Structures are given as C-alpha cells and as structure tokens.
Amino acid sequence: MTPQPNQSSHPSSPAPSLTRTTLSGKRILLTGTTGFLGKVILEKLIRDVPDLGELVLLIRGNRKYPCAKARFHAEVATSSVFDRLRETEPARLNTFLDQRIQCVGGEITQPRFGMEQDDYQALTQSVDVVINSAASVNFREALDTALSINAMCLHNLADFAEDAGQIPVIQISTCYVNGYNRGSIAESVAPPTSGLIPRDANGHFAVESTLVTLRQQCDALKERITEPEALAEALTELGQREAHRYGWGDTYTFTKWLGEQILLNRLKGRTLTIVRPSVIESCLQGPRPGWIEGVKVTDAILLAYARGKVSLFPGRKAGVVDIIPADLVANAVILSVAEALREPGQSRIYQSCSGTQNPLIVRDYVPTICGEVKDNWQKYPHLTRKGPKKQMTLVNKHLFVALIQVLRGVFTVADRLRLRTANNKSKALEAVETTLKLTRIYSTYTSPNYVFSSDRLMALAAKMGEADQSLFPVDAALIDWHEYFTKIHVAGLNQYGLEERKVTPPRPAQTTTATEDVADTTPA
C-alpha cells in the first residue's frame, strides 16, 4: 500500500523533482488554512518543498482572534498536523513558521478582500500563484451564505489574479459538481441535468442571470421574514429546493458548480486549474497515517452507527463510493501549481478521486468499516463506549425513505399521546429522525450512479516524472482499502477527528513581519 521512492535508472544522478525546482523561491497565496485540507496542503508544502519562497496565508479574523496572525498561531500552528515535523525537524519548522509565513487579514467575500488599497496593492505585487481552499462545505447552508462563499467571492479572486499580473489560480472544487449526471464523469465542465442554464459557444454556462435570480429570491425572503431563526431556515430550504430544481442534490455542490462557471468565464484564456476532490477522508501517509480533523461526509454515518443511532442505511450495493485520502488531494494541488507555473495560459480540470483507479464498492466498504467498529470497539473510545450491537444493513433507498417516513409519523403520534414535547422526544423518534436526516444528506454518496475519472490527473503525474510521483503521489491505486479502513482511517478518526490535540503554540520571532490576516471561510 505504501508507495516506495522510485529509483532512477542512474542511481548516481537521479532526476530532480520538477515540482520542487519550479516552486523554488515562489510565493504562494493560500486561503482556507484554518480548514482540514488547507492544513494538509500547508504542512506538505513546508515539509516537501524546502526551497519554497514564502507562504502568504489569507486568514479571516474572528471574534476570538480578530488578528490573522493570532488566529494562525492559535488554530493552525498548534495543530497536530505538524507533529511529524515537530519530531523530525523542529528547528526547520519553527524557522519556517517564523520567517516564511505571512498572515494577511481580510475577507475573501469582499472586494479587495476587504483590505485598504495600499495593503491590497502590496499583496498583488508579492505573490506568484494563488490556491483557493476556502469554501463552505455545509450541505444545508443558507442559500445567501453559500452563494457568497462558494460562488460570488470568486469574482474577487479573479480580480486579484488580474491585478497581480494574470497569476495562476488553483481553485479547489468538488467532484460532486456533477450533480445528477450519471455514468462516467470526466474531468471537464459538468452540465446541469435540468437544462435550465444555457451554454455558450465556448462550452461555458451563462450563470450570471441565474445568480441574479437566486439573490433576488434571497432578498425577497429577507424582506418578508424578520425572525432570525425562521429566516435562516427559509434560506436553507430555498437553497435545497433550488439546488434540486437545477440538478444538484444539495446547496453546497450547486454553489460550487456556479463558482466553477464564474472562474471559467472570468479567466478565459488565462491560467486556471480546478482540482475536484471526491469525498476527502483521513491521510494515507502524511503527515501521519489517519490524520484527520473533524467528522467528514461518510464519517457521520459511521459515528451514528457506532453510537447505536442507526443500523439500516440506504445504499446501492454495486455502486462505487468515491473516497480519497487528504494527502493525495494535497499532492494533486501541488502538482497543479507547478504545472500552472511551467505551462501558463490554459484552463485545466483535474479530479482527485478513486473511482477509476481503485474502485471502492459500497457492498465492500460498509461491512469493512462498520465491522471494524463493531468487532474492535474497545480500541476506539472516542467513537463509542459500548459498541454497536447490530450489523449495518444496506437497503434500497426509495423503499427505505418511505418506511422511515411512515415510522416517523407513527412515533410522532405516539409521542404526542404520551404528552412528549419537541425537546423531550422518545429515543425511537430521535433514531428515526436521525436516520432520515442522514439519508437526505448522504444517500447521494452511498447510492451512486456515477464513477469519477482521473485520467487527466494520472497523465499529469506521469508528465511530472518519477521523482514527483514518489514525492507527491496522487494515484488511488496505492490504497489497500481493507488496510486503510481497519488500520488507518478508523484509528485516525478516533485519535484526531474526535479528540484533536493542541500543543503550545510556538512564540513568533520578534523579527517576523506578517501583516494582518485575510479570509478563509468554512474549509473545503
């Protein structure tokens, strides 16, 4: 499973890494570093691109840490993502954090990132490429928020790239912009299945009128509803409804697709690479096998099963559930940066996924991961204290939803007869509602009718050469799925995802000259 360094045909003079050579001395603007994938990209750049010039981190201050630099040291520099470097190269890590990290404060959803003109101008003159890892990954986000973070802010990103001298943009999207499309999903522009958005002669979709309509709908709700909680719920339901109408399963993937179209239109003829990961899960190798932060897409189902809340779930047994370790995604992003700098002036789309290289079949995935928790629950005290009693069983999605809705009605009536309130629901009703909620959100991923292709990404890896294939592997064929789930992922979720350990932050050197921070948002 673990890739071994490739040997050159001339061991005395191995070919150098094209990626390291290309990135030597370069300054990269990186957003989203307070998020999971952003941290993995940051750590990988520091660890394996030693001659990198500087990393400029766009970090939004928050209520607790209004200063970008303070937030970085509290939420990023203290993360266990750096444990490997702390153990193997502590001096180099501290020197890099002190001298080659610049934290810039602002907000990506605002023009000029919300910065003063002089500060913004200085930023445009100081970076060579931008990686945008900022996004809201809430599947049920309020529509106005999702539009702002996942779509409209990309106008600001395109403005910055142009103001900075047409520098390359690496946009992290998601494979699930495919929406309701079926079959083999190529590394190309994904058409909406609804046919409601027209396509232009260049193959791009004219989304501006759609964006105007969506924002007008949000504004109309804001004028009509004044109670905050009711408004938030209405905006959330509007997002789900419009996503379904246009051809997507949730607001997140719909607005990420809209964001892709904005960049493809704005940066036409410029240097743009869109990297689409599938379901990002714990690292395969580095910084540590199993390193993860928080509970990700499919982990929510596993956690509910581990704690006895669900034992039935809809899934297409013959379908390919597409999971990709975070470090393989980070490697794909870094290779894309090097290619964009070496061969500018093109738009490219790469999918970091496992569907074609190493398909994971639903009927194999569910028994493996749930069986590990059931059989060895004592090893995972943060996942469960008792261990599940039943096997996780996959059932037909449509029949399952119908059954759950009937049960929900029965248990609701029973609760009312017992004079139970909404805050004092029976365990039976809570279990049914939890299952229905998980079904609505996640069944798209466990009942797939599509397979994502990564042919172009594999071609990129081959083009970059053996040294980069060893340093920055992207091939999902490296994964032994049984070993990954039983030895790496569940253990990592227990250790890191549910009990993230912080360390004392390193004190920044007095000579550090980082400016105030810019925005990430909820991580991709």
pLDDT (average), residues 325-345 = 98
H or E segment to which residue 101 belongs: strand 101-105
Percent of the chain residues topping a pLDDT of 70: 88
Q: Are strands 347-352 and 323-325 parallel, antiparallel or unpaired?
A: unpaired
Each residue of 98-153: pLDDT tens digit? 999 999 999 999 999 999 999 999 999 999 999 999 998 888 899 999 999 999 99
Question: Crossing angle for the helix pair 251-266 and 153-163, nearest 10 degrees?
Answer: 30
Residue 523: inside a domain? no
Closest CA to 448 of 351, 354, 329, 370: 354
pLDDT at residue 426, as a whole number: 73
pLDDT (average), residues 382-393 = 87
pLDDT at residue 8, as a whole number: 39
* Both tokens assigned to 158: 């395109």
Q: How confident is the model at residue 193 (pLDDT cuts 50, 70, 90)?
A: very high
Give the whole-angstrom CA distance, residue 162 versus residue 164: 5
Give Dmax (Cα) for the chain: 81
Burial of 89 (0-12, 13-18, 19+ CB in 10 A): middle
Computed over every residue of the chain, the mean pLDDT equals: 87
Identify whether the C-beta of residue 315 lies closer than 8 Å to the C-beta of residue 332: no
Between 304 and 382, the more confident residue is: 382
Give the whole-angstrom CA distance, residue 426 versus residue 448: 33
Each residue of 212-264: pLDDT tens digit? 999 999 999 999 999 999 999 999 999 999 999 999 989 999 999 999 999 99
Q: How confident is the model at residue 316 (pLDDT cuts 50, 70, 90)?
A: confident
Residue 519: inside a domain? no
* Both tokens assigned to 444: 């798209």
H or E segment to which residue 280 belongs: strand 279-281
Residue 507: inside a domain? no
The values of phi and psi at residue 500, to 5°, are -65, 120
Q: How confident is the model at residue 415 (pLDDT cuts 50, 70, 90)?
A: low
The yes-or-no verdict on residue 297 having pLDDT over 80 is no
* Both tokens assigned to 151: 């779509």
The values of phi and psi at residue 522, to 5°, are -60, 135
* Both tokens assigned to 62: 């928050």
Identify whether the C-beta of residue 354 lies closer than 8 Å to the C-beta of residue 323: yes
Give the whole-angstrom CA distance, residue 499 versus residue 294: 9
pLDDT (average), residues 159-183 = 96
The values of phi and psi at residue 393, to 5°, are -115, 130
The yes-or-no verdict on residue 421 having pLDDT over 80 is no
Residue 371: inside a domain? yes
Give the whole-angstrom CA distance, residue 256 versus residue 488: 30
pLDDT at residue 438, as a whole number: 67
- For 243-371, strand residue ranges (E) read 272-277, 279-281, 312-314, 323-325, 347-352
Identify whether the C-beta of residue 344 lies closer than 8 Å to the C-beta of residue 267: no
The yes-or-no verdict on residue 187 having pLDDT over 70 is yes
Each residue of 508-521: pLDDT tens digit? 333 322 223 333 33
Instruction: Give the domain range for residue 67.
Output: 18-497
- For 318-457, strand residue ranges (E) read 323-325, 347-352, 393-395, 450-452
Q: List C-alpha distances in Å: 309 to 51, 202, 301, 418.
A: 50, 49, 9, 22
CA 63-68-73 angle, to 5 degrees, is: 100
Residue 12: inside a domain? no
pTM above 0.85, yes or no: yes
pLDDT at residue 405, as a whole number: 73
Q: Are strands 129-132 and 169-172 parallel, antiparallel or unpaired?
A: parallel
Q: In 199-296, which residue ranges form alpha helices assigned H by DSSP?
A: 208-224, 228-246, 251-266
Identify whether the C-beta of residue 332 lies closer than 8 Å to the C-beta of residue 457: yes
Each residue of 58-72: pLDDT tens digit? 999 888 998 999 999
Lowest mean pLDDT among 85-89, 364-368, 431-435: 431-435
The domain total for the chain is 1
Question: What is the length of the chain?
Answer: 524
H or E segment to which residue 2 belongs: none
pLDDT at residue 424, as a whole number: 66
Residue 305, classed as helix, strand or coil, is: helix
Identify whether the C-beta of residue 278 lies closer than 8 Å to the C-beta of residue 350: no
Percent of the chain residues topping a pLDDT of 90: 69
Each residue of 468-500: pLDDT tens digit? 999 999 999 999 999 999 999 999 999 998 864
Residue 339: inside a domain? yes
Residue 520: inside a domain? no
Residue 432 belongs to a domain with what CATH number? Answer: 3.40.50.720
Residue 505: inside a domain? no
